[in-house]
Amino acid sequence: MGNPHLAVGGRVRSEDMVALNKAGVTHVVDTRSEYCDDKDVLAQNSMDLLYLPTPDTYPLTVEQLMEGAAWANEQIGHGGRVLIHCEHGVGRSVLLTCATLIYGGMHASDALDLVKAKRWQAAPNQRQVARLREFESAFRARNNA
């Protein structure tokens, strides 16, 4: 990514948590409504969880994007390493990763181009891209208020 402390991906199995921890991940955002990472297993591996449940193929709400982007940037600001994931790492996690980059100062189109360049699977659908633009407008309006 444009930030070495931010990663995006698909489902993480419980048995992968040790490897995630060894890779330096300190915080995980799970965007799936169909499952949720085991908070206890994450905690045993020194990782915190933010759960923003969203149905597959749907965009997170602007509120969820605001919460997730703020949380991720706060953790990164304190030296944390954040993994944002959904089931396949195609839409929901890509949307929140882009929102996190926007929150950190990028423009939506640049954030989306960067994520697509770093993750070939990244392919948010039209609703998700529209929500990203909606988030960018809301975020800019909030910061200019």
Residue 75 lies in a domain: yes
User: In the prediction, which pLDDT does 14 show?
Assistant: 86
Residue 107 lies in a domain: yes
For 13-52, letters b (16+ CB in 10 Å) and e give eeeebeebeeeebbbbbbbbbeeebeeebbeebebebbeb
The H or E element that residue 74 is part of is helix 62-77
- Distance separating alpha carbons of residues 133 and 72, to the nearest angstrom: 19
Q: pTM of the prediction?
A: 0.95
For residue 89, report the phi and psi dihedrals to the nearest 5 degrees.
70, 35
Residue 100 lies in a domain: yes
CATH code, 61: 3.90.190.10
CA angle 58, 136, 70 (to 5 degrees): 85
User: In the prediction, which pLDDT does 38 show?
Assistant: 94
User: In the prediction, which pLDDT does 1 show?
Assistant: 46
Residue 1 lies in a domain: no
Find out whether 26 and 75 touch, Cβ atoms under 8 Å.
Answer: yes
User: Tens digits of per-residue pLDDT, 37-49?
Assistant: 999 999 999 999 9
Find the domain containing 95 and state its range.
6-144
Give the pLDDT band of residue 6 (cuts 50, 70, 90): very high
pLDDT of 4 higher than 90: no
User: In the prediction, which pLDDT does 143 show?
Assistant: 87
User: In the prediction, which pLDDT does 121 show?
Assistant: 94
Strand-pair partners of 50: 29
User: Tens digits of per-residue pLDDT, 59-102?
Assistant: 999 999 999 999 999 999 999 999 999 999 999 999 999 999 99
- Distance separating alpha carbons of residues 1 and 138, to the nearest angstrom: 23
Q: What total of structural domains would you count in the chain?
A: 1
Q: Mean pLDDT over all residues of the chain?
A: 95
- Tokens encoding 64: 């969820």
